A = this chain, B = another copy of it.
Amino acid sequence: ECSLSSTSVCHALGKCDHAFLETSRSRQITVPAKRMLIREGETPAEVFRLLSGWGARIKILADGSRQILTFCLPGDFLTVEMLHDVPVTFSVQAVSEMTLCAFPKKHLIEQSFTQPDLAAFIEQLWAQRVSDLEERLVGLGRLSADRRIAGLVLDLHRRLKMRGLATGNEFAFPARHEDIADTLGLTPPHVSRTLTALRQDKLLEIGGGRAVILDYGGLEKLAA
């Protein structure tokens, strides 16, 4: 049993008053790693919020290859279309086992009529997602492999830290090399080589399901 703001991760988001959302009844579900939860083109009747584990918003290309748009971390909504029954433009896949709570979309729509704050809150979510995508776009277009990885890890660290899910410069990192590769437009072998180089340079250590930022300043300078 959970509500939009009853969990610790939700509190961490702060600022936005969504007390009104607490009344929405929800169901909680579990999804095993690699399972596809939402498929591109579907129109889910529920809005999902991630409680634990990582997910990925992905696109499958004609040739079968996969591009990860963004990782979903605990506290994130898997989709942002809250007021519209429009088909989603991507699929959502579990990177590690996910637990999440689901809110019927129609409750949100009803409440949007009486809650003027909701529109502003949702616009915030959109703006955040757009800003995120723009950042990624810049990285893919212009940066070398080591810089892309540096940027990705710093971004994940920042997002997890905001939610209190990173202790110091260390955090759980369930993504495999293939996931990193599909995010950054690289290949798993090259991700492996680049991570080895970063480890030798004493900047970053990823392995065994955990990430440790060894030299935060150095990593930032690389990503810039």
Contact = CB atoms under 8 A, between A and B. Distances in A.
A214 interface: no
A155 to B, nearest CB: 14
A8 interface: no
A138 B61 CA distance: 8
A177 to B, nearest CB: 15
Interface stretch (A43-51, A121-129, A164-172): A121-129
A88 to B, nearest CB: 10
Interface in A38-60: 59
Q: State the majority secondary structure of interface residues on A.
A: helix
Nearest to A126: B126
A140 interface: yes
A224 interface: yes
A122 B80 CA distance: 13
Contacts of A131: 89
Interface string A72-93: 0000000011011010011000
A142 interface: yes
Given A59-B134, A133-B130, A123 B122 contact: yes
A29 interface: no
Contacts of A138: 59, 61, 67, 69
B142 A137 contact: no
Contact of A136 (B130, B137, B184): B137
Which of A84, A112, A138 lies at the interface centre, i.e. has the most chain B CB atoms within 10 A of its CB?
A: A138
Interface in A127-183: 127, 129-131, 133-134, 136-138, 140-142
12 contacts: A67-B137, A80-B126, A83-B119, A84-B123, A89-B127, A89-B130, A89-B134, A112-B119, A122-B123, A126-B126, A133-B134, A133-B137
Given A80-B130, A142-B185, 10 more contacts: A61-B142, A67-B141, A81-B123, A83-B119, A84-B123, A84-B124, A89-B130, A112-B116, A129-B130, A140-B185
